[in-house]
Every structure is written in C-alpha cells, then in structure tokens.
Copies of this chain bind each other. A is one copy, B any other.
Amino acid sequence: MKDMFGNPVYAAIIDSALENAEFPSTPVKLYAPIQYILSLSGKRIRPQLVFLGADIFGYTNIDSLVPASKAIEYFHNFSLIHDDIMDRAPLRRGKPTIHHKWNDNVAILSGDGLLVKAYEELADCPTESVPTLLKVFNKLAIEVCEGQQIDMDFEERNDVTEEEYINMIRLKTSVLLGGALEIGAIIANASLENRQKIYDFGVNLGIAFQLQDDILDAFGNTESFGKQVGGDILVNKKTILHILLKKVLIFQDHSVFEAIINLAETNPEKVQAMLSLYEKYDILSAANILKEYYTNLAYQNLNSIDVEAKNKTSLFELADTLMNRSR
C-alpha cells in the first residue's frame, strides 16, 4: 500500500482489487500502458468515495462495491492518459506519461481501451443497479469531456470570468467526485433526495479542493504542497487567483500585470513579481472567501443528508482532511 488515504479497510480492498486486476497480455501496446498507469497509483481518493457513498447509508456488502470503485478509478486514469496527450505533459506522478514512454497512438488507443474497461466494471455491478449506474456514469463522463474542452478553450481567452472558471472545474474535476459518491449511494439503494445531496456534497467539496489547490500553488510552502510553488504563475495559468486579480486590477496596473505575464517562464523573478501584485490586492483573501463558500456548501449538503449523524463521521473526516480543517 502506498499513499494511504481515508478508511484503511477500504483503501486495502481498493489496492488489492487494482493490483489483482487482470488484463490480457496481448496486444502488448494496448494493455501494457493500461497496467503501467494503474500501477502509478496516487491517493485513490475517487474509488474510496464509492465505498464512503454507500457506507453512509449503512450498506455493508462491501464486495459488491468493488467493480464500481474500479470503474471510477479506470475512468479517472483514462482521462489522465488523454489529457496528458492534449497538454503535452511529459510526467505524471513523477513518471513518464504514456504518450512520452510509448507514443501518441499508443496513448490514444490505450486510453480508449481503459474507458471501455471502466464500462466493463460497471457491467459487473449488482444487475438491478446497472441501468441507473450507467446513466449516472455517462453523465459524469460527458461532463468531464466538456470540462476538458472548456479548459483548453480558456487557454486562448483572456476574459474568463470567475463563474466560468468555477463551472469549468466543476465539470473537469468535481462531477467525478460527486458521481463516485452517488454511485455508492445508488448501490446502497439511497433515496433520490439523499443521492442528490451526496452528489452535491462531492461536487462542492471538489470545487473547494481545486480552489485550494490554486491557492497553495502560489501561497503554499513547497514541503507540504509537494510541488514547486509558483508553477502556475510561471506558465500564466488562468487560476482563480489570476482571474480574481484581473477583475480588481485598477487600469493603471494593467501594464504592470502584462509585463509580468510577458516575463519568461524561466525567469525566477516572475513568481515574486506576481505574488506582490496578489498581495497588493489581497487576492489570497478573495480566493479564500470563495473556497470557504464552497466548503461550507459541502458541509451543509452533508449535514442535510437524512441519516444518523454517526454515519456521517467518515465523510466529515474526509472533508476535514482534504480541506485541512480541524473540527
């Protein structure tokens, strides 16, 4: 077990299920990349959400949750493979991406194969749930595609609003978290109303988490954040900080902002220059207000779910861990 996260029993079941997942040995270039990306692991938050989404409704038939949790993890990895091609990313979790280690064609096709494998796992879920699971899964899957396209569209735009940005991260990253929880809830036979609430909890928590990620990239400390601070600033990424700053900048500062944007990606002064501008306008506070807004929504969603309070402990703990809160 690598980067353990959340409930240790669920984490162990997920690790074992993914490690023992069997794929055909040939065609090698179709299946070896799939096994490669799945072996890179990561925190496996998403498959864990399937278990937690059932657990809260008192569901105890853990084995029958395994295929759905694999489906979610496979889908997530499919999207990473294809996104990495589109973003020309050389590394993923510190290792070469598939298109880099093999080539683009291998990455396209093995991504396709992994998406189909996700649907194969879905077909292995409890039969009576399959029609509903398929609809929920399809909805999140097409939304993730939409989010990825909107994100790519943003690269060519300079007028992205807060609202558009939040919608993009909702689609690109958060609906998968909400969907994973809802899928657990469906298998646990939760009411429609409770399903909606746990989905909303996941989506809002996902948005808050992504906003926090943007904040930490600029204001975190390298050690606890685990990646280079200021990376987003160096590549002019349109994070929530970038968008909020543009919104409040007085016109006299436009040229200062443009000058920073035009600094080379390799210029070490670029990060400090942008941070000064963020500090001048107190963008950290503005971003935190937004993050807190979605965090609070998520906690409200969880509170409103109609089950005993003790059943909610695991999800509250998860939210606390993700949002670095103590309660």
A201 within 8 A of B: no
Interface string of A129-143 (1 = CB under 8 A from B): 011001101100110
A152 within 8 A of B: yes
A290 within 8 A of B: no
A148 within 8 A of B: yes
Q: Please report which residues of chain A, range 100-136, place their CB below 8 angstroms from some CB of chain B when the two chains form the complex.
A: 104-105, 108-109, 111-113, 115-117, 119-120, 122-123, 127, 130-131, 134-135
- CB pair A142 B117 closer than 8 Å: yes
- Inter-chain CA distance A130–B130, complex, in Å, is 7
- Inter-chain CA distance A105–B108, complex, in Å, is 10
Q: Which residues of B contact A24 (CB under 8 A)?
A: 146
- CB pair B123 A105 closer than 8 Å: no
Identify which of B104, B112, B146 contacts A145 (C-beta below 8 A): B112
- Inter-chain CA distance A109–B147, complex, in Å, is 11
- CB pair A142 B116 closer than 8 Å: yes
Complex copy number for this chain: 2
Q: Which residues of B contact A127 (CB under 8 A)?
A: 131
Residue from A108, A111, A113, A152 having most chain B Cβ neighbours under 10 A:
A108
Identify which of B109, B135, B142 contacts A113 (C-beta below 8 A): B142
- CB pair A123 B135 closer than 8 Å: yes
On whether A149 and B86 interact (CB within 8 A), knowing A123-B138, A130-B131, A131-B130, the answer reads no
Min CB distance A85 to B, Å, is 6
Identify which of B30, B86, B131 contacts A123 (C-beta below 8 A): B131
- CB pair B116 A30 closer than 8 Å: no
Identify which of B112, B120, B134 contacts A82 (C-beta below 8 A): B112
Min CB distance A183 to B, Å, is 14
Q: Which residues of B contact A109 (CB under 8 A)?
A: 82, 86, 145, 148-149, 152
A312 within 8 A of B: no
- Inter-chain CA distance A194–B68, complex, in Å, is 31
Q: Which residues of B contact A63 (CB under 8 A)?
A: none
Min CB distance A312 to B, Å, is 31
Q: Which residues of B contact A153 (CB under 8 A)?
A: 27, 29
A273 within 8 A of B: no
CB-nearest residue of chain B relative to A117? Answer: B142
CB-nearest residue of chain B relative to A120? Answer: B138
Q: Name the 9 nearest CB pairs between A and B, nearest first.
A: A27-B149, A30-B149, A130-B131, A123-B134, A86-B105, A113-B145, A116-B141, A120-B138, A116-B142
Subset of 10 A-B contacts with CB under 8 Å: A27-B150, A30-B146, A108-B108, A112-B115, A115-B115, A116-B142, A119-B134, A119-B141, A120-B135, A123-B131
Known: A109-B148, A113-B145. 12 other contacts (CB 8 A): A29-B149, A82-B108, A104-B104, A105-B152, A109-B145, A109-B149, A112-B145, A113-B142, A116-B138, A119-B134, A119-B137, A123-B138
